Structure 1
Amino acid sequence: MRRIGKLGLLAGIALVSACAAPKGPETYTEADFARVAKFDAHVHANVDDPRFLEVARRDGFELLSINVDYPDFPPLAEQAKIAEAMRAVDPKYFHFATAFSMEGFGAPGWTERAERTIDAALARGAVAVKVWKNIGMVAKDAAGKRVFLDDPRFDDVMAHIEERGMPLIAHQAEPKNCWLPLDQMTTENDRSYFRAHPEYYMYLHPEEPSYEALIAARDRFVARHPGLAIDGAHMASLEWSVDELARFLDAHPNAVVDLAARMSNLQVQSNADLEKVRAFFVKYQDRILYGTDLTDSPPDPAARAQNPPATGDFPREADAVWRADWRYLATSLSQPVAAIKADAKGLGLPKPVIDKIYWKNARRFFRLKG
């Protein structure tokens, strides 16, 4: 029998170990969740409640609370006061984005009022400006004509935002499910939302602009302002297809997207082709921001805020959402997902990709220091 020398044996062990070692960067585990720096780039803190900040700090999250002219939320001025108060308590962990009202659009003085709103919020610490889906779906000008985001009357305000060095968060249109019958929608959360919000359920309003028309107007707007840093909220309303989202990002180098309230739409796709969705995240790792759309609003049985606390305990719900998303994005573990009535296997993204999506990209995009 041929004898193997000591050096040869060691070399053989090293070769076997190298072949057995996992390829590429390691992934995080569930146990890493709280110790990794993270940033939720899309929440709505409509209540001045220290418990939201407490659970965010405990879980390792900075927050971006976004003011929005949404009828189920408090008035914009009240949202601004709440955001400014929470930022004053903890400017390290709490940031906010402002919004301007569409009231009086097209009438003399509207542009100047919008710019004053932006400047006042910037002076108080705002890091971005939000435009909402009411542009294109609800808002009309002073003459009663529907307003779309590519309307040139926005140009001066957008130039003003760009000159101030502020990014724009743009929520345009709705999930594509909004234009489908309830029984053809791909996720339960979309089905429940549009059942509760018939005014935004476009399948019931065929006289309104189509999904394709709204997305085209948004794309023209993004192309019209190449120097403006734009965050396409809710996966730029292209949540139904990572292929379409890739085309959007390729066409608009000034744009990023956030994942807010669209994780289940991703899970439908990754259950069909996990490697395809995983490859999308790896390729566009510098262009994706983690976000949830978690909404802490005043208790009101009549309100229909998009993501009210399901348990009556908002901090606990926030923690549960954050941990479930971490399990899906950062690990390869499976978990049951009620919104798709199935289990979803995690993407197991490499640590460097997770670090960007969960923290570095938001810090860079919103130009935060320290």
Structure 2
Amino acid sequence: MCNIRIKALVVLVLGCAIFMGCKEKVEAEKASPPYKRPMLIDAHTHLQYFAVERIKRIMDDNRIEVMINMSGGNHGDGGIVWAFEMQNALPGRIYNCYDPDWERIDEPDFAEVEAIRLEDAVKRFGFVCLKISKALGLYVRYKSGVLVEIDDPKLDPLWEAAGRLEIPVYQHAGDPKAFFLPPDEKNERFKELSVHPYWSFYGGDWPSWDALLDAFERVVARHPETIFIGVHFGNAAEEPERVARMLDKYPNYFIDIAARVPEFGRHDAKKMHDFFVKYQDRILFGTDIGISKRHLVLGSSGEENPTEEDAKKFYQAHFRYFETNDRQIDHPTPIQGDWKIDAIGLPPEVLDKIYRKNAERIVLKRKP
């Protein structure tokens, strides 16, 4: 009799456990259905015409509908024609940014002519943005040897043209803080700098990290009718507060997250979650992926050439950071730093904007 009671009790307990487990599972499923990721817009890429087939394969493998190519070239280097051909080879899937011809910088009418060329790129070739690389402020010099500063008034006609044409200016100002520190073993990006020693801006007559960002901010402030996208998390992933201040102050300012998940992912997960929720209408998804026929660059590059399978892992690492609450996970670009990051689990409506809707609204509104 006693055994029967014990068995009955065991059955009852197991039944309750199963019932409660099923109930919790049903409630969890009702509360948070699996996130259905939209077809992506990677709003920051570098693409080569001769790799069209590979580009399409990587896009299809990772459910990317559109890539915005930062390396569209210009009339002087002939790149604009190749970019246009690539755009035509994958219609509706690749759009290009115009890159100024800095070889002409000493010409008195440099900005005026570049503004005309920009308009031609937009109206005749279907380009959708202007890209300013870190060359401005770090590499471009007048014949006298003087660096051309980001906020040089000579460039104002170019920024004004972008505003008039209603296209955004993607601006890369400076580089990671670590690149302005001694490139020795104490530098946390030493491995990366060892592979790319020319990325070190320590010493010499290089401007400081702060000076470059201050100059960029002056340009944003001076041209409120022009949309500026501060690439690489506003070029200041080390200081989210600085990025937030600019987003609060300038309605014409936006950012992308390209190649900086490892850096801003180091900050407190709750802090970054709240940042992305607050500025959900101002942030674009981008990866800085570089695709050529022989090489892949996944946010940065090391001594080994990544594979297309590595590209899948690269994108999945981004998704894991934004979509889950996992802790101490690998970031997308190991060479950028030997540390783990904590994911931020953004709401579906925020993810939809960052992954796609913001780029449609800000970059592709003039698509041909």
Q: Once the 2 structures are TM-superposed, how far is the Cα of residue 369 of structure 1 from its aligned partner?
A: 6.8
SS of 2:146's equivalent in the other structure is coil
Q: Once the 2 structures are TM-superposed, how far is the Cα of residue 177 of structure 1 from its aligned partner?
A: 1.4
SS of 1:202's equivalent in the other structure is coil
Residue aligning to 1:44: 46
Separation in 2, partners of 1:304, 1:318: 9
Map 1:21-60 → 2, pairs under 5 A:
26=32, 28=34, 32-33=36-37, 36-49=38-51, 50-60=53-63
CA RMSD in angstroms comes to 3.2
Separation in 1, partners of 2:115, 2:59: 32
Q: 2:322 aligned with 1:324, yes or no? A: no
**Runs of at least 5 residues in structure 1 that lack an aligned partner in the other structure:** 1-16
Residue aligning to 2:18: none
1:67 and 1:97 in contact (8 A); partners too: yes
Separation in 2, partners of 1:309, 1:84: 30
Q: Which runs of 4+ in 1 moved over 6 A?
A: 303-306
Residue aligning to 1:11: none
Q: Once the 2 structures are TM-superposed, how far is the Cα of residue 276 of structure 1 from its aligned partner?
A: 0.8
SS of 2:330's equivalent in the other structure is strand
SS of 1:42's equivalent in the other structure is strand
Residue aligning to 1:119: 119
Residue aligning to 2:16: none
SS of 2:41's equivalent in the other structure is strand
> What one-letter code is carried by the residue in structure 1 that aligns with 2:46?
H
Compared with structure 1, are the counterparts of its residues 326 and 83 closer, same or farther at alpha carbon in structure 2 (3 Å cutoff)?
same
SS of 1:231's equivalent in the other structure is strand
Map 1:102-251 → 2, pairs under 5 A:
102-122=102-122, 123-181=124-182, 182-186=184-188, 190-203=189-202, 205-251=203-249
Residue aligning to 1:88: 88
SS of 2:341's equivalent in the other structure is strand
Equivalent pairs counted in the alignment come to 337
Deviations 1:40-87 (A, max 9, x none): 111100243212123213422111111177xxxx99735433321221
> What one-letter code is carried by the residue in structure 1 that aligns with 2:131?
K
1:363 and 1:369 in contact (8 A); partners too: no
Deviations 1:78-117 (A, max 9, x none): 5433321221122222111111111231423423431233
2:168 and 2:226 in contact (8 A); partners too: yes
Separation in 1, partners of 2:263, 2:112: 39
Q: Which range moves more in the overlay, 336-345 or 220-229? A: 336-345
Separation in 2, partners of 1:265, 1:39: 22
Q: Once the 2 structures are TM-superposed, how far is the Cα of residue 247 of structure 1 from its aligned partner?
A: 1.1
Return the TM-score normalized by structure 1.
Answer: 0.81
What is the aligned counterpart of 1:296 among 282, 291, 295? 291
Q: 2:334 aligned with 1:336, yes or no? A: no
**Runs of at least 5 residues in structure 2 that lack an aligned partner in the other structure:** 1-22
Separation in 1, partners of 2:322, 2:132: 28
> What one-letter code is carried by the residue in structure 1 that aligns with 2:128?
V
1:68 and 1:132 in contact (8 A); partners too: no
Residue aligning to 1:64: 68
Residue aligning to 2:7: none
Q: Once the 2 structures are TM-superposed, how far is the Cα of residue 321 of structure 1 from its aligned partner?
A: 1.1
Separation in 2, partners of 1:343, 1:172: 26
Separation in 2, partners of 1:201, 1:68: 26
Deviations 1:171-220 (A, max 9, x none): 0111111122344545xxx43333333333122x2432111111111111
Q: Once the 2 structures are TM-superposed, how far is the Cα of residue 342 of structure 1 from its aligned partner?
A: 3.9
Q: 2:285 aligned with 1:281, yes or no? A: no
Q: Which range moves more in the overlay, 161-170 or 290-299? A: 290-299
Return the TM-score normalized by structure 2.
Answer: 0.81
Residue aligning to 2:358: 361
> What one-letter code is carried by the residue in structure 2 that aligns with 1:134?
A
Separation in 2, partners of 1:153, 1:305: 35
Q: Once the 2 structures are TM-superposed, how far is the Cα of residue 351 of structure 1 from its aligned partner?
A: 0.3
Deviations 1:6-56 (A, max 9, x none): xxxxxxxxxxx89x967x984755xx45xx221111110024321212321
> What one-letter code is carried by the residue in structure 1 that aligns with 2:308?
P
Q: Once the 2 structures are TM-superposed, how far is the Cα of residue 146 of structure 1 from its aligned partner?
A: 1.6
Compared with structure 1, are the counterparts of its residues 325 and 141 closer, same or farther at alpha carbon in structure 2 (3 Å cutoff)?
same
Separation in 2, partners of 1:352, 1:221: 32
Separation in 1, partners of 2:339, 2:139: 35
Percentage of identical aligned residues: 26
Separation in 1, partners of 2:72, 2:100: 8
